[in-house]
Amino acid sequence: MSAILVTGADLAPQALALLQGHEMVYAGKTPGPDDLLALCRRHDPVAIIVRYGKVTAEMMDAAPSLRVISKHGSGTDTIDKTAAAARGIEVVAAAGANAAAVAEQALALMLACAKSVVPLNARVHAGQWDKATHKGVELGSRTVGLLGLGAIGRRFAASVQVLGMRVLAYDPYAQEAPEGVTLVPLATLWRESDVLSLHCPLTDENRELIDAEVLAQCKRGVILVNTARGGLIDEAALLQAVRSGQVMAAGLDSFAVEPIAPDHPFLGEPGFVLSPHIGGVTGDAYVNMGVAAARNLLDVLARQPSPQSA
């Protein structure tokens, strides 16, 4: 019975039903590099379903039967794709499986920032009543700029259009935009957006794209939302921009290093609304991602001959 390694503690029952006939190996909730390497050596999996941790070239070499790496989600930046390609190992992703969940998280973070939900909640609990002094931000007349127009970006665009927001987007791979969305160059996106929301994968080319220079080009008081990858942002530059008021508030669901350290400089800063990279973690998305990851790897195994039969 061939093994499938899951770099996490569980998988949706609907996904497991598709994978009957395989030995399922789980790495636990917080697998480290040594844990994953040891499991590859011990079980020689034919497939890896990636939930947490990184999949390295060393892991691939430790599993000579490995034929496919299937992401439980859309982002494949934690997989050494160059090493996989060199070894003939296919990398697949569950694109769009959690699009609704992540788009809703982006919307929640944007609204929390614009309406000061977190500080007002804390003040009311502390006995304060700021009705006479607080003024929020009305989004209906504002412009939101999307960096990335894939399944999540399009879903988010549809959501903010309901609020009456103007939607701009930059995506070098988009041939056309959905109704109500205007494709623009990056310079226009920075200059005209009242809200900047990130919805693109992390690559070597866009790592820390949102740096001090870009933030300086944005409107003063811009709201930044990131439900994509933390590595897209120069965190030190963002901290300074929030403190100076150049960025009114930042709603972040992902960070350069996760989990963030107890002394991370964003912690305790009033201009940050933070969540622990759970935008795509809903009951529905958990099932959708698991089923898509299972189907994707089974498709590869069905059309790719095993080393023994090749």
Residues recognised as catalytic: 229, 258, 277
Q: Where are the beta strands (DSSP E) in the chain?
A: 3-6, 23-26, 47-50, 68-71, 90-93, 143-147, 166-170, 181-183, 195-198, 222-226, 247-252, 272-274
For residue 304, what are the CA distances in angstroms to 20, 46, 84, 87?
A: 19, 11, 15, 14
Query: In angstroms, rounded to a whole number, what is the distance separating the alpha carbons of residues 152 and 173?
Result: 15
Distance CA 24, CA 17 (A): 11
- From residue 143, give the alpha-carbon distance in Å to each of 17, 33, 51, 195, 243: 45, 43, 34, 6, 23
Cis, peptide link before residue 259, omega less than 30° from 0: yes
Whole-angstrom distance, CA of residue 161 vs CA of residue 156: 9
Phi first, then psi: give them for residue 47, nearest 5 degrees.
-150, 150
Q: In what order do the strands lie in the sheet with 166-170?
A: 181-183, 166-170, 143-147, 195-198, 222-226, 247-252, 272-274
User: Which tokens go with 219?
Assistant: 């409107």
Cβ atoms of 199 and 224 closer than 8 Å: no
Tallying the residues shown for the chain, one arrives at 310
